[in-house]
């Protein structure tokens, strides 16, 4: 069922302050991989997007950032309409041209090399993938290390991406090229930039 613009979920009430607060949360998450950060800004949310993913979209997407949506989001007409209306970002079919990708079904996340990986000269021209996951507080334990982490940190999360540790290891081999992940669960977010070593904890 399609909604009209009048029925569409709202964006941020105070655009400037909400975007700033959300950005700082994402920046802290990216600077401290594995740490769980809370998004405080409130907006309308088109199902099946999560609150955190909606806030990230309102904060970082615009006409200069092509966005790729997984099937679950793309087939919900409201999400595309909401993104276009509130952010003006073009929603594109080829993930390789995307600045951002949003994934509502982690089990069917395409291989990373389907996204933009950047070039050796411009490794920043790569996709940031926002993945909606079941939990960022409970689930299997992962040991994380790398820039932004004081030694080792443990993340418990139900992420749902098959072979995630292997894929991230492969991603690390491409450095400085590579994708960066933002995991979202409700209003919680965790960043896994390409520099983070990510291994399943034994036992």
Contact positions toward other proteins, by CB under 8 A?
15-17, 19-21, 23-24, 26-28, 30-32, 59-62, 64-65, 99, 119-124, 126, 128, 147-151, 175-176, 180, 193-195
Tell the residue number behind the tokens 């919900």, with chain if given. Answer: 76
Question: What is the closest distance, in whole angstroms, from the C-beta atom of residue 146 to other proteins in the complex?
Answer: 8
Q: Quote the tokens at residue 172.
A: 């690390």
Q: Which is nearer to other proteins, 76 or 167 (CB)?
A: 167
146: closest CA among 11, 31, 17? Answer: 31
| 76 vs 187, beta carbon nearer other proteins | 187
Pick from 141, 74, 147: nearest CA to 104: 74
**Residue 48 or residue 123: which is nearer to other proteins going by CB?**
123
| Closer by beta carbon to other proteins, 30 or else 109 | 30
Tokens at residue 57, please?
A: 């979209």
Which among 117, 122, 159 is positioned nearest to 138, based on CA atoms?
A: 159
Say if residues 81 and 6 touch (Cβ distance below 8 Å).
no
How far apart are CB 176 and other proteins at their closest, in Å? 5
What minimum distance in Å lies between the beta carbon of 102 and other proteins?
15
How many Cα atoms are found within 13 Å in the side-chain-facing hemisphere of 22?
Answer: 25
Structure tokens at 102: 């949003």
Smallest distance from other proteins to CB 203, Å: 26
- Taking the least distance from each CB to other proteins, the nearer of 72 and 174 is 174
Residue 47 beta carbon to other proteins: minimum distance, rounded to whole angstroms: 25
């Amino acid at each position: 069922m399609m909604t009209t613009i009048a029925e569409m979920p709202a964006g941020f009430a105070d655009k400037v302050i909400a975007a700033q607060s959300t950005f700082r949360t994402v920046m802290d998450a990216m600077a401290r991989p594995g740490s769980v950060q809370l998004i405080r800004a409130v907006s309308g949310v088109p199902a099946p997007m999560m609150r955190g993913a909606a806030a990230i979209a309102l904060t970082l997407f615009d006409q200069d950032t092509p966005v790729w949506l997984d099937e679950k989001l793309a087939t919900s007409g409201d999400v595309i309409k909401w993104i276009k209306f509130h952010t003006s970002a073009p929603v594109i079919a080829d993930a390789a041209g995307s600045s951002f990708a949003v994934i509502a079904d982690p089990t069917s996340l395409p291989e990373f090399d389907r996204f933009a990986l950047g070039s050796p000269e411009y490794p920043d021209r790569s996709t940031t993938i926002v993945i909606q996951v079941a939990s960022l507080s409970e689930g299997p334990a992962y040991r994380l290390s790398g820039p932004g982490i004081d030694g080792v940190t443990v993340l418990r999360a139900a992420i749902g991406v098959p072979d995630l540790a292997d894929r991230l290891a492969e991603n690390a081999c491409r450095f400085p090229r590579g994708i960066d992940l933002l995991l979202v669960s409700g209003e919680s977010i965790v960043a896994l930039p390409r520099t983070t070593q990510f291994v399943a904890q034994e036992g």
